[in-house]
Amino acid sequence: MATFPKDFLWGAATAAYQVEGAHDAEGKGPSIWDTFSHLPGTTYNGTNGDVAVDHYHRFREDVALMAELGLKSYRFSISWPRLLPEGRGTINEAGVTFYSALIDALLEHGIEPMITLYHWDLPQALQDQGGWESRQTIDAFEEYARLCYERYGDRVKLWSTFNETLCFIGFGYITGAHPPGIRDPARALQACHHVFIAHARAVAAFRQCAIAGKIGFVNVLQTHTPLDDTPANVAACQLADGIFTHWLYDPVLRGEYPIELLHLAQSSLGAPVFDPGDEALLRDNVCDFIGLNYYKRETVAANHGESRLQINTTGQKGSAHQAGNEFGFKDLFKFVRNPNGVYTDWDWEIYPQGLTEGIMQIKERYGDIPIYITENGLGAKDPIIDGEVVDDDRIDYLRQHIDAVADAIVQGADVRGYYPWSFIDLLSWLNGFQKQYGFVYVDHQRQLARQRKKSFFWYQQLIRHHGE
């Protein structure tokens, strides 16, 4: 019997800001990433998505490559300020038409579109009015979601509301490395709560509009393991699970926060504050499916030192784990090097088994929820030999992780699709263009010419044989 279900979706993923470019074309409004990336010192070597890989103008060429690759599905995000330059109100029809044409091109090639409504590029106009800390952004998100359902709901069946609260709230409001660059845990919790409410409202609207499809949420899946079995490190690891996983999955899959952590947060930080009706909204609008973005596991130890919130954005191996430099929160936990681990140049542990373990942990806590692996991939500086991009390490990485998905399916998990990150080399938020993930190489010295990598042909064969 074949491991992967007959209609399993072999896909690939991208996000608007990282591929589209055309940052001010045809009526698009600025997003917080347009503003932030233009501030000195915010990104790797000042890179930004002004042009990115110009997918906005080259999407037909890119979709033709997706078809050649044999993709069954393509996950992409919509740029909110391209549709609604002010975040709400006036509609930019040129933006609406762009995604409509993209969807049609995908469908013509038999590629199922999977839309992410929010992959971090909030309209700057909404940030100026408080961003996710303001409940008005919840109303604006519902308006934006309804516009997308109205214009694309006749053709698109797979939708997710948000991508990775852990990253855009964590980096945006705790470490300050992403816009809006705030460092305040209480404000982070309140902003995050508003995201959950915006999600619930968008799910309710989806069901009201009777869209013939499914709607979910995409989260980071990061497995944690204690450095050793000392009680302090085991407790630190449980806390990391609670904050990085349960806090972010429970509200969208169970319709409530993990209660002990909620009480702890409210008593120590005074957040999140609920409005009347919030509890019912969460309870009544849980997801149809969950999207999991898996890259790495973290080894966890108790942290008796100060908070350190830097990550490796240079690709200089080992820098994240130098003594005293480890990412961690004072008195809570820190992420340390696993002495037996295999790491990428960005100090991300390569641990395929963690994908099986993580999927099974989700199944155990949340029951038989349909699962899509919405991101998974290797960030690397790919070797070029005689003009060919020979990304053997990426092939090894993906092969092992696809095996890990197969193991989870054999163990009874309902995994319905796998979307490597990324379809094409694109802008990494803080790491510029040097951290490559794609099946397709983009030559920045030759007018962004596309070139198939070795992994392209490998994945093409894998899809042809349905992963067997």
Active site residues: 164, 375
Establish if 49 lies at the interface with ligand BGP (CB under 6 A). no
| Of residues 250 and 425, the one with the C-beta less far from ligand BGP | 425
C-beta separation of 462 from 10 below 8 A: yes
Figure out which of the listed residues 43, 92, 163, 219 binds ligand BGP, where binding follows CB under 6 A. Answer: 163
Q: How far is CA 55 from CA 16, 192, 229, 382, 423, in A?
A: 9, 30, 49, 21, 12
Q: Is residue 76 a contact point for ligand BGP (CB under 6 A)?
A: no
Closest approach of Cβ 346 to ligand BGP, in Å? 7
Residues 279-298 that bind ligand BGP (CB under 6 A): 293
Binding segment for ligand BGP (CB under 6 A), chosen from 99-107, 175-183, 236-244, 423-431, is 423-431
Give whichever of 20 and 278 is closer to ligand BGP, judged by the CB atom. Answer: 20
By CB under 6 A, the residues from 123 to 142 that bind ligand BGP are none
Q: Scan residues 83-102 and list those touching ligand BGP (CB under 6 A).
A: none
Q: Number of helices and strands (H, E) in the chain?
A: 16, 14
Q: Name which of 54, 63, 15 is nearest 449 in CA terms.
A: 54
**428 forms part of the interface with ligand BGP (CB under 6 A):** yes
Q: Structure tokens of 43? A: 């990104």
Long-range contacts of 316-323 (CB under 8 A, 24+ apart): 316/345, 317/343, 317/344, 317/345, 317/346, 317/347, 318/347, 319/347, 320/346, 320/347, 321/347
What phi and psi values does residue 76 have, to the nearest 5 degrees? Answer: -140, 165
Q: Which of 75, 201, 296, 435 binds ligand BGP (CB under 6 A)?
A: 435
- Backbone angles phi and psi of 138, in degrees to 5: -65, -45
Decide: helix, strand or coil at residue 129.
coil
Q: In terms of DSSP H, where are the helices of 7-135?
A: 16-19, 32-37, 55-69, 80-83, 93-108, 124-127
Among 132, 421, 423, 459, binds ligand BGP (CB under 6 A): 421
Using CB atoms, what's the residue nearest to ligand BGP?
428
Scan residues 324-383 and list those touching ligand BGP (CB under 6 A): 375, 379
Q: Is 431 in the site for ligand BGP (CB under 6 A)?
A: yes
Q: Which of 62, 133, 142, 164 binds ligand BGP (CB under 6 A)?
A: 164
List of residues contacting ligand BGP (CB under 6 A): 15, 18, 163-164, 167, 293, 375, 379, 421, 428-429, 431, 435
